[in-house]
Amino acid sequence: MEAINRAYETVMEYVENFRFRFDDEEIRRHYPESQYKKQFKF
pLDDT in tens, 1-42: 999 999 999 999 998 888 777 788 887 888 878 776 777 765
Cα(20)–Cα(27) distance, rounded to whole angstroms? 9
Is 24 in contact with 18 (CB distance < 8 Å)? Answer: no
Cα(6)–Cα(18) distance, rounded to whole angstroms? 18
Number of domains comprising the chain:
1
**How much is the pLDDT for 6?**
97
Cα(2)–Cα(7) distance, rounded to whole angstroms? 9
Host domain of residue 26: 2-40
